[in-house]
Structures are given as structure tokens and as C-alpha cells.
Structure 1
Amino acid sequence: MKYITNKNLKWYATKILSNLNLSIIILLIISTISIIGTIIEQDQNMNYYQLHYPIKSGIAEQINWKIIINLGLDHIYATWWFILLLVLFFCSLITCTLSRQLPGLKNARTWKFVPHTDKTRCLLYSDLFKIKSLANIICSLNLKYYYVFHKKNQIYAYKGLIGRIAPVFVHISIVLTLTGSMIGFFSGFTIQQMVPKGEIFHIQNTIKSGTQSSLPLNILGKIENFYIDYNSDNSIKQFYSSIVIIDFYGQNIKKETIFVNHPLKFHGITVYQTDWQINSLRIKIGQHSIQKKVNKTKLGNNSIWFTNIPISSIDQIFLIITNLKNTILIYNSNGELINTINTNETIQINKQLFTITEIMTSTGLQIKADPGLQFVYIGFFILMISATVSYLSYSQIWISGIFCIKQELKVTGTTNRAKLSFEEDLRYIIKTYNQFSIKAYNYLINIIHL
């Protein structure tokens, strides 16, 4: 009795999980949650949500920072309930594929000879015409790329079986995509770093990591150069970082210049160019060298960097940087432009030789590792192909001969989509059959006359 109960329980669970409506409902819930995740900013600090989602504001005064934090809406894709939904959707697809799709595919390949007296089948098309030759109708079906099976006075033909295979691969592609996403979630990591030009860096400053992830401590990098290309209107066209991957012995392993949408890839790690900043100026005054930090501010839509240098007990000058074209503007205490200077150019200010030797910059890098990314790419590739192929019609045709009474053929057929095209196919087959019959008849008449 216990065995029967367990068996029934497994069957009932399989029946529920393989239900198409359940899969669609779960998919809609996942899609809705993903939309919420694009509306509410993810992975921000508490102060950000308190500022943008105060208690007495939001949509109908219902969405505030407390609700966002308590429900995990600030990191939706890492919450236990969202992962549970993905696992449930994964199990539903696997169960549906094994219990419905694969048996249905096997059934579609089975020869299905039915007698012309079968009234139980719901058929799309039916016709009756005089028979001359079974060989002619088989040839007509072959011309329309049907697979034909002949037994006595019955013919069964089908085409478009790949249209029945495609849904199986749609499920497989989604399963692969979900598998890759889960592998990336548990084993991947994301790192943000600002690295000064000329400095060596190692992988640190993790902002997101999976429970099973580990940082590769044996990888070092060096920013050999950083530069910016400008448009004619002084707007930024692109910025570049020349990166060298080195080992612990100081040997160069790989060198590449990265820019936006052109990352460096090395041993499963991808280094993206994300941002940049000006850190300080290296200045030589007389025989002494100093390093002066610069501050950033906005002037309209443009960013500028500035710092001040005392030149006497009461006076000071301001150095203004607007871009990395090596030109620095010099203003006095009254806000008047008194000079412009290029890097490594020497001028005299207050009887002192003044040289800006370097504009010191940092490049912003995002370093990511996602071991499941290949599965995601393969899944989406299979999904695009299989989703397209799934629109092909699966069509079946039955032909039964009534030889003893009227010497007639009964043609019946059905298809799962493109019904008008299928009816046109059947009319073409019958027309071709009639043409073959006329040609055969004329050929026999000519032989008789000879």
C-alpha cells in the first residue's frame, strides 16, 4: 500500500510539474519580477534607498525603502524566493520535456495507418477522387517532400517532423540558459577598481560574489598607459587603457589595449573599461617637486578639475584642467586667466620656475568572472534557431483505397499550423496526381496504337 501511495504521489507531482499552464505562470512571474528589478535600482546602499524611496512617497505611498529592504527588492536576483522560482521553472521544463515532449516526438514518428471508415479522427481536409495508380499518388507526395509509407491499399505520409523536434530544443535551450545563470550566480564575481596609470594591480575590491566563487590570486596586471581620444568639439570619443597581465616573476603573459565594448579576456576573467578620473598634478617649482591633488566639479554639462597653489603669503593661483590634451589653465585669485601651460612646459610665476610634469590619471576597471556564461550563450543560440524552426508545420496525410466498390481514393489530412498552406499542398498533390494519370493514360494509348 505504501508503494502504491509513493508511486501515485510521484505521478501526481510529475503531472503538476509538466503542466504547460504552470510553466507559463512561473515564466510570467519571473518576467514580472525581472521588470521590477529594472525599475528599482539594484545593489545600492541604504542611504540611496532612503533618499529616493522615503516613507511618505512612492507609488500610492506603498513602495518605500523599508519595503524594498525587507522584501529584498534591492537585490532581487539574489533572493532565495527568486532562486526558488528559477529552480521550480527548471524542474517544470525538465519534467515536461521528459514526460511529454520526448514521448510526443516518438509518437509523431510512428506510422499511423487508419482505415477510410475511421470517423473518430478530427481531420482538416478530406477529398474523394477516382483512382488510377497508387504509384502516381506516392510520387505526387514525394514531390511535396512528404515521407511516404505504403501498406496494402493504405498510404500514410508526413512532413515537418523537425517542427515537432524544435519545442524539445526550446526547452533544452532554456534549461541551458538557467543552468548557466545559476553557475554564474554561485561561482562568479564582480570587482570594481580605479587603478592609477603605471601602477600594478591585483584582483580585489569585490562588490558581488557567489557562495562558491574564489578570486584568482596568481594574476597581476599593470596599467602601462591611459589616454583619451576627443572629437572636434572636445567631447570624449573614446578612452583607452593599455593593460599587461604579468606573472609573479614579472614576465608579461598578455598585453592588450581595452576600451568601452572591447574588454580583455584571460583565463575566464574579463576586464572591462568603465570609467576614468584625474587624481593629481605632479608639479616642479624651482628645484622641488610636489604632487597636488585635484578636485572635480561640474560646470554645466562639462567636468573640470581644479587645485590651488600658494605663490606668496597672500596670493595663490588656480590650475584648471578641462581635458587630457595637456593644456592647463592658470587663474589668479581674482578669477582672471593669466596664462596657459602644457605639460613639461616651464613658465615663471612670481620669480619662480613653474613646470607641470604630469597629469596623473586613473582608469576604472570592472573585472568579472562568469563560469556559466558559455552555457548562456549556447542556450540563447539554440533558442533562436529552435524558436524559428518551431514555426514549421507538422502535417500528416492518410490515403485509403476503396478498390472493391468504386475504385476510389479517400484523402484526409491534418496539420498543427499554417492550415491554408496545407490545403493548398493537398490540392497541388491531387492536381499532380491527375496530371500523372493523364500522362500515363496517353502513354498507354500511344503504345496500343503502335
Structure 2
Amino acid sequence: MIQNTKCECGHQNHVGTVLCESCGKPLLEDDTANEPLEMRYDGVARRSQRENPGLLDRVWNFFSSVKNAVYMIIVTLIASALGTIYPQESTFLNFDPSTYYKDTYGTTGQIYYLLGLSHTFESWWFITLLFMIGTSLVVCSLDRVLPLYRALSKQQIRKHLTFLTRQKVTYSGPMPVAADTTEAWTTKAAEALKKQHYRVHTEQDGTALLAEKYRFSRWGPYINHIGLIIFLSAVLMRSIPGWHMDQHVAFPEGKIVKIPETSYYLKNEKFTIDFYSEDEMSADFRAKGQDVPKTYETKAVLYECTANCDDPSKEPVLQEVHRQDIIVNKPLEYKGFMAYQFDFKSDPMLIAVKPSLKNKQTGEVYGQLDISMDKPAESYKAGPYELRLKAYFPEFSLDSKGLPITLSNQPKVPAFVFLVTGPGLQTQGETFIYFPRQVDKVNFRQDDLNGALAAKLDLSVNSMDDVSISEYVSYLNLRVDRAMPFIWVGAAISMIGLVMGFYWQHRRIWLRIDDRQLTLGAHTNKNWFGVRKEVVGMLQKTGIEVDPKTLERRGTET
């Protein structure tokens, strides 16, 4: 067990210190006395090395462990790989995942769905893994960077002899005979090191020296951690409402559709499509007789709700804010909101009709109604008659008991039930069933259903100009990603940290002179050949010829 100990130099070290924070003397007696010193974090104490840790310390120790961090990263990578075996649910449009994976991929697909892997990247456990990795990055960095900063910012020039002789690059020998004084030789050595871009510190009497360069590279890994923390935080921020959206929404021609999770509405004013001619198509496509789209676009208008946005009982007040034609790879963009052209479908659908109410016997036209298939009004006025809406069936059908029902909310077979009041009718009004499409009138025998009222009044359109039909449905991929700038910032900071750590090395050279006996030690985190070459160059310029191979300490060699 590591005990709190006081070094022979008089410095009181923290519990867990391996090398004295002042003179560098090893504080542990072990079997590696002839091995080079372990200089990781300069031997300083860390919180994760506390004796008798409490609950909070145990949690800290778990997240400060690099081994645990590696395990969490491996588990996350495996989970990410599993999530790409089959397509994720978010890549599909209008499908039932509970049956799709089984029908398409068989038993393995069903197991894939039941395990929740079909929505891996939105699952709580995957987000938890990312959060744990981010926490580990924060704790690992704090556990190491603060003690390391304290050690590097308070370095002593004179180091213990054992500290110097147990460095991987070391030299011991007498000063050159030609050297006049210790101080003069040290000054000459300092000048040689400065030419190699070292920052040199010496004691006043010239008996000790510390040369250092590229200290900033020691902070590279921690800057990399900061970038990764920002990156992961930005990814997690996507779960904040309004920060991220990636949905596929259908926009029939002529309809205004609310964009989920926003105050925006988008209208598909017109969808246009251009097909390749037979001359432009290859022989294979001509043989198949397929129509191949050449270009297709959505003429879109973006609105922003300014009033009654959250009141479903009132019509929202919309203000046009942007207008743009959307084609493949050229999305609509407005203040971080983007709408990509994803797909289209030929699906003729009735949007609105403007039928005229007529007197069947005299041919008199009382007025025209403007009936929306999306939100019909509660009542309509046509001359002396009032038509109050009693029921609306977007896709009219009859159940097993012969009662009217709707099969969906899409106006595929629209039917309206009005209560008509006016001259010549009963006081309480009479029921009138109206089918806007002529084919539905015939199929469901509109005149037979309306009985005697059908002989008096007729509700029909005069021309096709009074009918609004959506020929195509445009499918748009709607995206909002407010976290993306933070993701790029995190990635950039991470790259800066990687460059700092890879292309520069923190190099330090210590030396001391005792009775004209020179002892030198040098350390770097990598590229030992480079620092050894610099030491040899410095010694040669001060009159000491040395074989570079003899400078490197190798295990039990003395």
C-alpha cells in the first residue's frame, strides 16, 4: 500500500506519489531499481490512487480507468456494427417494422427487431454508452491533467542523482579538463541547447541545468479529449426537442402540411416530373417498357405559424417565409431547416371541390360551395339554403351491419352528410348525402340514398375547373440538426490535439555537476533517437566526445 511519505529533500508529497515532486527521487523500494524510471505523469499522485476509497471515489476510479474506457468503446463499436446488419427503421417510409423484418429477412430479422437493434442509434442503452464514454473522457482527463500541470509548472532545476541515472538517456563522467569553471561550462552547454530551440534554466552557481522544449505537446491528448467531449455532447444534444429531426413526410399537391416538432408549415404548390424519352433510354429499359424519371421537383412554399399555433380548435395564422423549388441534391434551406427531395408517388387525390347547389325542377343555381377535403367547414350557405355538416367520411365504406364508416383519413372516397334547411323543406331539415366524385355517386347510388330530396336539389360541379386534384404525392426528407456546428468544432479541436501529440515530443534534459563530476539525464515520450542525438551534439560542443550508443540505458545494464 502506498503511504504518505516525506522525501529526504524535505518535500512532503501527496499519497500515491511515485517520484518526489521536488527532486525526483523514487519513493518506492521495488525490484526495478536498475530499470529506467516510469515517467508517466511525472510520477505525481492522482485521485484514483487514494487509500480507502469511498463510494464516490470508487465511481471516480471506475471512470478514470483507461481499461474500462477501452471496454466501453469496444462494446459501443460492436453495438454500432450490429445496428448496421439490417437497415434501421428510420431509413424506411410508411412501413410496419413488426412485420417487415420477419417478412424480409426471416427469423434472424425477427430476432433483430425483437432485440431492439432495428433502432439501435436512438435506443436508451446506446445513448447511455455514449454518455458513459463522455464521462470517462472527462474523469480520465481531470484525474491526470491537473496533477501533471502541477508537476510541470513547478519543476526543480536540480534533480536527485538517482532520478538522472535512471533516465533512459543518461551520461556520467568528469568535466573536460579544458573547462575553466563550472559556471562557464554550463553557460556553454546552455548556448548549445538554445540553438536547438530549448528553453534553458540554470542555477546561479552553474551547477545544475534544466532544458526543455515542446512542453505544449503534453497537452495534445487532453485537447483531443476536449474535442471528443464536445463531439459526444453534441451527439447527445440531438435528443433535445427541436435540436434534431430526420423524418420523411408526404406532401400531396396543393396541401399545406404541418412540419412535426416545429412551427413551420410547408405547401407543395406543384409537383412536376420529366421522363426520359425512348430515344434517351437504353435498350434494357426500352425492353422493360418502364417509364424512367429524368428530373422531378417540388415547388415548395414554407410558412411560419404566427398565431393559434397550439390551439387545434382554431385555424393557425400562417406567414410565408420562404419559397424554393426542391430537386434531388438541392434541398430547401431556411434557418437550419432543410427539406430534401426523397421520393414521389402517383396517387391522384381529391383536395377540394366547388359544387353548385341547383334546383332540379327549375334549373336555378342558388350558389357555389367551397368544400375542402382536409378541413371542411361546419356549415355552408347557398342562396336561401343552409347546409350544416353532420358527418364526414374521407374513405367511405359500410361495415357488416350496413352502417357508414371511414377506412382511413385520406380522402380517397370522400362522402359528406349535410342537414339541409330552407324553403320547401321540413322545419328540422332534411339529410343530404354528397359524394364529390362522380364514380362514387354511381357506386353508392347517391340519388337513391337522398330519396325525395334528390328530386328537388342537386349538388354538382359545373366543370373540372371547380375540382382541385393532387396528381402526385411528394415525399420530402425533413432535417434539422442544430448540433452539427458543435460536432464540427469538436472534430476540429480533436484533430488539433492529435497533431500536437503526434508531431511534437516533450523533451527535457537535466544535468548537475558535483565536484566537477557531470551527471546528465534526458527524457522524451517518443523519438529517443532524436533526443539522444541532441544530447550528443551538446556534449560535443562543450568538449566531451561520447559514443551515442553508450548514452541509452538498457534494463539491468549499469
Please classify the TM superposition score into its range, dividing by the shorter chain length: 0.5 to 0.7
Counterpart-to-counterpart distance in 2, 1:6 and 1:29 = 30
Counterpart-to-counterpart distance in 1, 2:53 and 2:160 = 41
Is residue 64–residue 139 contact of structure 2 (8 Å, CA) maintained in 1? yes
Structure 1's 64 and 221: CA in aligned 2 closer, same or farther, altered over 3 A? closer
Counterpart-to-counterpart distance in 1, 2:266 and 2:489 = 30
Once the two structures are superposed, residues 63-103 of structure 1 have per-residue CA deviations (whole angstroms, 9 ceiling, x without a partner) of 451x3233211111232322222222222111111112332
What is the aligned partner in structure 2 of residue 78 from structure 1?
A: 122
Q: 2:98 matched to 1:17?
A: no
TM-score by length of 1: 0.64
What is the aligned partner in structure 2 of residue 42 from structure 1?
A: 88
What is the aligned partner in structure 1 of residue 492 from structure 2?
A: 381
Q: Secondary structure at the match of 2:83?
A: helix
Is residue 173–residue 379 contact of structure 1 (8 Å, CA) maintained in 2? yes
Q: CA deviation at 1:114?
A: 3.8
Structure 1's 386 and 227: CA in aligned 2 closer, same or farther, altered over 3 A? farther
Is residue 194–residue 362 contact of structure 1 (8 Å, CA) maintained in 2? yes
Is residue 222–residue 245 contact of structure 1 (8 Å, CA) maintained in 2? no
Structure 1's 190 and 110: CA in aligned 2 closer, same or farther, altered over 3 A? same
Is residue 254–residue 267 contact of structure 2 (8 Å, CA) maintained in 1? no
Q: Secondary structure at the match of 1:246?
A: strand
Q: 2:158 matched to 1:117?
A: no
Q: 2:443 matched to 1:397?
A: no
Is residue 272–residue 297 contact of structure 2 (8 Å, CA) maintained in 1? yes
Q: Secondary structure at the match of 1:368?
A: strand
Q: CA deviation at 1:398?
A: 0.7
Letter in 2 for 1:420: F
Q: CA deviation at 1:221?
A: 4.5
What is the aligned partner in structure 2 of residue 371 from structure 1?
A: 482
Q: CA deviation at 1:141?
A: 1.9
What is the aligned partner in structure 2 of residue 254 from structure 1?
A: 322
Letter in 2 for 1:26: M
Letter in 1 for 2:528: K
Q: CA deviation at 1:261?
A: 4.2
Among 165, 177, 186, which residue is 1:134 paired with?
186
Q: CA deviation at 1:259?
A: 4.2
Structure 1 portions without partners, runs of 5+? 56-62, 205-214, 283-357, 436-450
Structure 2 portions without partners, runs of 5+? 1-49, 282-291, 306-316, 351-468, 545-558
Q: CA deviation at 1:160?
A: 2.0
Q: CA deviation at 1:150?
A: 1.6
Q: CA deviation at 1:185?
A: 2.4
What is the aligned partner in structure 2 of residue 89 from structure 1?
A: 133
Counterpart-to-counterpart distance in 1, 2:274 and 2:197 = 60
Q: 2:211 matched to 1:145?
A: no
Counterpart-to-counterpart distance in 1, 2:78 and 2:229 = 19
Is residue 165–residue 519 contact of structure 2 (8 Å, CA) maintained in 1? no
Q: 2:313 matched to 1:202?
A: no
What is the aligned partner in structure 1 of residue 151 from structure 2?
A: 107
Structure 1's 415 and 237: CA in aligned 2 closer, same or farther, altered over 3 A? farther
Among 245, 248, 270, which residue is 2:302 paired with?
245
Letter in 1 for 2:533: E
Structure 1's 424 and 246: CA in aligned 2 closer, same or farther, altered over 3 A? same
Letter in 2 for 1:399: L
Among 217, 221, 236, which residue is 1:167 paired with?
221
What is the aligned partner in structure 2 of residue 416 from structure 1?
A: 525
Is residue 116–residue 410 contact of structure 1 (8 Å, CA) maintained in 2? no
Is residue 278–residue 359 contact of structure 1 (8 Å, CA) maintained in 2? no
Q: CA deviation at 1:268?
A: 3.4
Letter in 1 for 2:236: M
Letter in 1 for 2:229: V
Q: CA deviation at 1:37?
A: 0.7
Counterpart-to-counterpart distance in 2, 1:219 and 1:110 = 62
What is the aligned partner in structure 1 of residue 426 from structure 2?
A: none
Is residue 223–residue 494 contact of structure 2 (8 Å, CA) maintained in 1? yes
Is residue 195–residue 223 contact of structure 1 (8 Å, CA) maintained in 2? no
Once the two structures are superposed, residues 303-349 of structure 1 have per-residue CA deviations (whole angstroms, 9 ceiling, x without a partner) of xxxxxxxxxxxxxxxxxxxxxxxxxxxxxxxxxxxxxxxxxxxxxxx
Once the two structures are superposed, residues 127-171 of structure 1 have per-residue CA deviations (whole angstroms, 9 ceiling, x without a partner) of 356355322222222222222222242111222222211111221
What is the aligned partner in structure 1 of residue 9 from structure 2?
A: none
Structure 1's 264 and 421: CA in aligned 2 closer, same or farther, altered over 3 A? farther
Once the two structures are superposed, residues 195-228 of structure 1 have per-residue CA deviations (whole angstroms, 9 ceiling, x without a partner) of 3456544314xxxxxxxxxx12344455566566
RMSD of the alignment, in Å? 3.5
Structure-to-structure mapping, 1:265-414, within 5 angstroms: 265-279=333-347, 360-391=471-502, 392-402=504-514, 404-405=515-516, 409-414=518-523
Letter in 2 for 1:386: G
TM-score by length of 2: 0.53
What is the aligned partner in structure 2 of residue 306 from structure 1?
A: none
Counterpart-to-counterpart distance in 2, 1:220 and 1:262 = 17
Count of equivalent residues: 336
Once the two structures are superposed, residues 105-136 of structure 1 have per-residue CA deviations (whole angstroms, 9 ceiling, x without a partner) of 33233324344622576312123563553222
Q: Secondary structure at the match of 2:88?
A: coil
Is residue 102–residue 168 contact of structure 1 (8 Å, CA) maintained in 2? no
Counterpart-to-counterpart distance in 2, 1:97 and 1:85 = 18
Larger Rg: 2
Is residue 105–residue 164 contact of structure 1 (8 Å, CA) maintained in 2? no
Residues 168-177 or 137-146, more deviating: 137-146
Letter in 1 for 2:100: Y
Counterpart-to-counterpart distance in 1, 2:270 and 2:538 = 72
Counterpart-to-counterpart distance in 1, 2:167 and 2:275 = 68
Percent sequence identity over aligned pairs: 21
Is residue 228–residue 240 contact of structure 1 (8 Å, CA) maintained in 2? no
Letter in 1 for 2:492: F
What is the aligned partner in structure 1 of residue 232 from structure 2?
A: 178
Q: Secondary structure at the match of 2:238?
A: helix
